[in-house]
Each structure stands twice: as structure tokens, then as C-alpha cells.
């Protein structure tokens, strides 16, 4: 039987610390060759896109995909999770909240390994749902004392700051511009749908760590050339995927192939196989596009939690079928 786990159930089960732990562990497994991720692909539709990306955690014994559509301004996410040993679909998980948490968690893992240990101040550009999990993740790995947030909509910006101040127990203040938010911040996150620059290198303080999670198309960017050039360490989730859709790097590198040679993957940093921050004055950059290994990692965690708490409902997929013999297609 396949366990269907709803969006509401995911929200009741998965916490940010759990998601950070899952993403960090799958990163170590990737570095050891025990987990894999295939880059995202897109099919353009008349009114939007269909996206798919696959990954496997061989140690945990699961393989799966994240599938989602963007049609008429609305996103719909689902993760089918299969058992490696039997090929059966173990779970079908609604994955909007799960995706937000795993993306935030990845920035949390990157911040844990790249930001200065004593970093206490953060800035967030963007005030949507993903901005919330970005700030929550950063606060989970560093003892923040304050944060500043900027978004174009003033009312939404104020609401974001009130809610995040209450959630995190620190002062989250609204900034009048992105530059105002960023100046002096030790950790900077960009979480926008912008196609043009929102973070300028001139505003970034020495020693800052940047998590850039928007701009996952080759022609879009959140960071200007200077912000990328000032980074002494550039880390991505997947170099293959970044070459396809990390507009921040594609545009900043401007066809200079040699610059990709200095980019390293997060799993290698987490496992200690690639260098991270070397000194407190260095600016570090994590460019996140999102990879399926993270989705599989948190999906497995959600599946096990749902089983423990007897949540979800069984779907009788392929019930009673012995299966077709190999080669009968």
C-alpha cells in the first residue's frame, strides 16, 4: 500500500531542525557516493511549466522525484517515494511546505558551514513564504540577536517583521531598502522572484555570508557582478544544475569557463572534502537552486514520522497485482 500524506500533515510533522538534520545527512551521503541527485528538467506548457527532478538515498533505501507544475500563477508540488529494494511506492506526499522547509534547511546547512561562528545579525531580501523559512533556518544554526528585512510591499514587509519577531524571539526590523537591510549584516539571504539585481556587492560587509535562493533561470539574477566577484568562496548545491539555471553565476561569469573551476558543491564542504571559509574577512556565497536529494531526505523523514504517528491514508495502488514479468512492455 502507498501512504498518502497531505499538506496539513506535513506541516504538523516536519520541523526546521529536522529538515536541517536531514539535508546535512544527505549531503554527507552524496559526498560519499551513497546518494545521488539528477538535475531539474522543465517542460514548457501553453500556460506554464511542468518540472521534474529525481534523487536517491541508497543508505536509507529510497528513490523518488519531486514533480510540480506552475500554471496560471499557481504551484502544485508532490513527491512520490519508492523503496529501492522492492520498487513499491511507499508514499505520495504533498510537498509545498516540505519544499519550503528543505530549501530553508539547505541555507541553514550552508550557513552552519560557511558563516562566521560569531555571526549574530542577518538581513533578508524578500518577505514571502520562502523568506520565512530562510530566516528561520539561519536562526536555527546561529544565535541571531537581530535581523532586518526588505520587500517591495510595505504592508507585507511590516507583517513579515512582526510575525518573524514573534516566531524567532528576536527583533526583526523593516528596512526602507535592500541596501539598508544588507549594510553591516553578517548573514544575508535573498529570497525573491526578481529577474534583476536586488543585492549589490558594494553593500555587502566584509566577512558576510550570502545565501542566494531565487533566480533559478539562466537569464535571471538577484546578485550583481560585484557581489559574486567579492565572494572568496562560491558554493552551490549542484554544479551541473547551476550551469543550467543559476543566473547569478551564469551572468556574472559571462562565458568565462575558468571561473566555474573555483565553484564547489555543498556536499563536499559538509564532508570536509572542499574548502569553506578560510578567514573572518572573507565573503562566502551559497547559490541555491534546489536539488532532489534534499526532497528525498525530508520526504523519508516525513514518511517515517507519519508511520509512527499513524497519519496519512492508504492508497490501494496496484493492489492485488502480481506485476508483469520483466520485459513485457
In a domain, 262, yes or no: yes
- Rounded to whole angstroms, the Cα distance separating 12 from 154 reads 30
Provide the angle, in degrees to the nearest 10, between the axes of the packed helices 292-308 and 16-31.
Answer: 130
CATH number for 306: 3.30.1780.10
Same domain, 10 and 137: no
In a domain, 238, yes or no: yes
- Rounded to whole angstroms, the Cα distance separating 165 from 236 reads 29
Same domain, 306 and 269: no
Same domain, 267 and 234: yes
Same domain, 268 and 153: yes
- Supply the pLDDT for residue 195: 86
In a domain, 160, yes or no: yes
Q: Considering the chain, what is the average pLDDT of its residues?
A: 95
- Copy the grid coordinates of residue 243: 550551469
pTM of the model: 0.94
Count of domains observed in the chain: 2
Residue 268 clears pLDDT 60, i.e. is over it: yes
Element housing 72 (H / E): none
Same domain, 37 and 148: no
Same domain, 53 and 37: yes
Beta bridge partners of 54: 65
Nearest Cα neighbor of 289 from 114, 117, 103 is 103
Find the mean pLDDT for residues 226-240. 97
- Supply the pLDDT for residue 29: 98
User: What percentage of the chain has pLDDT greater than the value 70?
Assistant: 97
- Rounded to whole angstroms, the Cα distance separating 191 from 199 reads 11
Q: What is the pLDDT of residues 248-265, one digit of tens each?
A: 999 999 879 999 999 999
Q: Is 279 exposed, middle or buried (0-12, 13-18, 19+ CB in 10 A)?
A: exposed
In a domain, 322, yes or no: no
Q: Which domain holds residue 263?
A: 117-287
- Copy the grid coordinates of residue 131: 523568506
- Supply the pLDDT for residue 328: 47
User: What percentage of the chain has pLDDT greater than the value 90?
Assistant: 91
Same domain, 61 and 22: yes
Q: What is the pLDDT of residues 182-223, one digit of tens each?
A: 999 999 999 998 889 999 999 999 999 999 999 888 899 999
**Do 106 and 30 touch, CB atoms closer than 8 A?**
no
- Supply the pLDDT for residue 325: 54
Determine the 3-state secondary structure of 199 from DSSP.
strand
Same domain, 92 and 137: no
Determine the 3-state secondary structure of 306 from DSSP.
helix
CATH number for 178: 3.40.50.720
**Do 19 and 258 touch, CB atoms closer than 8 A?**
no
Residue 141 clears pLDDT 70, i.e. is over it: yes
Determine the 3-state secondary structure of 210 from DSSP.
strand
Same domain, 86 and 141: no
Q: How many CB atoms within 10 Å of residue 16? A: 17
- Rounded to whole angstroms, the Cα distance separating 220 from 236 reads 16
Same domain, 135 and 262: yes
Same domain, 140 and 177: yes
Q: What is the DSSP string of 58-71?
A: TTTTEEEEEEEEEE
**Do 279 and 82 touch, CB atoms closer than 8 A?**
no
Q: What is the DSSP string of 222-262?
A: SB-HHHHHTEEEEEES-HHHHHHH-HHHHHHHTT-GGGGGG
In a domain, 308, yes or no: yes
Q: How many CB atoms within 10 Å of residue 282? A: 18
Can you list the positions of beta strands (E) in 84-186? 89-94, 121-125, 146-150, 171-174
Same domain, 269 and 306: no
Amino acid at each position: 500500500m502507498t501512504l498518502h500524506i497531505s499538506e496539513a500533515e506535513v506541516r504538523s510533522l516536519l520541523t526546521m531542525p529536522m529538515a536541517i538534520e536531514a539535508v546535512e545527512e544527505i549531503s554527507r551521503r552524496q559526498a560519499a557516493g551513497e546518494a545521488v541527485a539528477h538535475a531539474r528538467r522543465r517542460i514548457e506548457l501553453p500556460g506554464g511549466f511542468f518540472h521534474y527532478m529525481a534523487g536517491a538515498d541508497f543508505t536509507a533505501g529510497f528513490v523518488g522525484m519531486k514533480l510540480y507544475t506552475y500554471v496560471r500563477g499557481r504551484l502544485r508540488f508532490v513527491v512520490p517515494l519508492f523503496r529501492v529494494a522492492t520498487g513499491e511506492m511507499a508514499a505520495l506526499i504533498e510537498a509545498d511546505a516540505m519544499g519550503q522547509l528543505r530549501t530553508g534547511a539547505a541555507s541553514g546547512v550552508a550557513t552552519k558551514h560557511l558563516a562566521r561562528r560569531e555571526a549574530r545579525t542577518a538581513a533578508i531580501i524578500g518577505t514571502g513564504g520562502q523568506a520565512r523559512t530562510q530566516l528561520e533556518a539561519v536562526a536555527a544554526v546561529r544565535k541571531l540577536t537581530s535581523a532586518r528585512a526588505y520587500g517591495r510591499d510595505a504592508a507585507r514587509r511590516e507583517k513579515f517583521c512582526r510575525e518573524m519577531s514573534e516566531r524567532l524571539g528576536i527583533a526583526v526590523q523593516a528596512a526602507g531598502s535592500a541596501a539598508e537591510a544588507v549594510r553591516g549584516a553578517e548573514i544575508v539571504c535573498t529570497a525573491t522572484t526578481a529577474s534583476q539585481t536586488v543585492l549589490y556587492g558594494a553593500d555587502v560587509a566584509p566577512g558576510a555570508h550570502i545565501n542566494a535562493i531565487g533566480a533559478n533561470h539562466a537569464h535571471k539574477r538577484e546578485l550583481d557582478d560585484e557581489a559574486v566577484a567579492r565572494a572568496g568562496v562560491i558554493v552551490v548545491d549542484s554544479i551541473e544544475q547551476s550551469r543550467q539555471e543559476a543566473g547569478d553565476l551564469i551572468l556574472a561569469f559571462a562565458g568565462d569557463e575558468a571561473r566555474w573551476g573555483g565553484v564547489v558543491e555543498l556536499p563536499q564542504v559538509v564532508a570536509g572534502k572542499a574548502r569553506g571559509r578560510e578567514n573572518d574577512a572573507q565573503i562566502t556565497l551559497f547559490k541555491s537552486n534546489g536539488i532532489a536529494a534534499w526532497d528525498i531526505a525530508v520526504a523519508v523523514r516525513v514518511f517515517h514520522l507519519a508511520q509512527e504517528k499513524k497519519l496519512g491514508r492508504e492508497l490501494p495502488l496496484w493492489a492485488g497485482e502480481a506485476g508483469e514479468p520483466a520485459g513485457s512492455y
